[in-house]
């Protein structure tokens, strides 16, 4: 009796194995595809060190993921900027004509681009756009991947105020425009300012107004002052 039971079980196991083998589906047998990796919204916060330097841009990055197996050779892809109606102003993004995926031993790779620093305005969500794979570009060598990973939201905002502004006796109450003027004059950020900079900044602001320039306004709409 036991032999019959074992024989029946063996037949069942073989039948299941054969059935699975016949219906086995390859995990991935499509053309190479590429997706943005990570969150679908990327927030880039610019700080004072981004604005004080002479270059008019900040360097940022995005990460992509290959859909499926490792690539067998380097392959190019292209990214473009498309409008995002959720934001008041677009972002001026500087992208490469093409990017080349070269890390053939992994499905992840980081790539870099530049953001032209936007004008500092009130609010934190005024600049935004989409970064999107440029599927129609003849240099793009990947097919479209996942719909939800074909683009990411880029939101550019700023947080300029130094943590210890209250310690800077002589500069008065804080405003972004006041701090921008200080950085323009001194070419240094708050952490590097010195006591003698106070008189230099006051004189520079007097000369600024004497040259016929309009007053610089703070967040409340009143003219900035240096105490």
Q: 194 is written with which tokens?
A: 């010195």
Q: State residue 69's pLDDT score.
A: 87
Q: State residue 3's pLDDT score.
A: 52
Strands 41-46 and 151-158 come out as parallel
Q: State residue 11's pLDDT score.
A: 54
User: Which contacts of 20-25 are long-range, i.e. CB under 8 A and separated by 24 or more positions?
Assistant: none
SS3 assignment, position 101 = strand
Q: How far is it, in rounded angstroms, from Cα 8 to Cα 3?
A: 9
217 in Cβ contact with 177 (< 8 Å) = yes
Model pTM above 0.85: no
Q: State residue 219's pLDDT score.
A: 79
Q: Any bridge partners for residue 129, and if so which?
A: 154
Q: State residue 22's pLDDT score.
A: 42
- Hey, how many other C-beta atoms are within 10 angstroms of the C-beta on 98? 15
pLDDT tens digit at each of 227 positions of the chain: 545 554 445 555 455 544 444 443 444 457 899 999 999 999 999 999 998 888 889 999 999 999 988 999 999 999 999 999 999 899 999 999 999 999 999 999 999 999 998 888 766 667 999 999 999 999 999 999 999 999 999 999 888 888 878 656 678 888 888 999 999 999 999 888 888 888 999 999 999 999 999 998 887 778 888 76
């Amino acid at each position: 009796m036991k032999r019959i039971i074992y024989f029946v079980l063996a037949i069942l196991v073989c039948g299941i194995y054969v059935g699975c083998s016949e219906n086995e589906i390859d995990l991935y047998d499509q053309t190479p595809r590429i997706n943005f990796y990570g969150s679908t919204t990327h927030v880039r916060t610019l700080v004072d060190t981004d604005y004080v330097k002479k270059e008019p841009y900040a360097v940022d990055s995005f990460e992509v993921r290959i859909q499926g197996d490792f690539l067998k050779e380097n392959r190019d892809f292209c990214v473009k900027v498309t409008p995002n109606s959720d934001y008041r102003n677009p972002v001026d993004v500087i992208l490469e004509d093409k990017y080349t995926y070269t890390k053939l031993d992994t499905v992840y790779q980081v790539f870099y681009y530049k953001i032209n620093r936007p004008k500092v305005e009130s609010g934190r969500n005024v600049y935004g756009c989409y970064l999107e794979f440029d599927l129609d570009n003849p240099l793009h060598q990947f097919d479209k991947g996942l719909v939800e990973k074909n683009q990411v939201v880029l939101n550019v905002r700023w947080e300029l105020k130094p943590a210890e502004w209250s310690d800077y006796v002589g500069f008065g109450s804080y405003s972004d425009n006041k701090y921008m003027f200080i950085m323009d004059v001194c070419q240094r950020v708050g952490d590097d300012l010195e006591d003698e900079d106070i008189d230099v900044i006051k004189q520079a602001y007097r000369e600024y107004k004497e040259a016929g320039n309009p007053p610089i306004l703070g967040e409340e709409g009143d003219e900035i002052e240096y105490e």
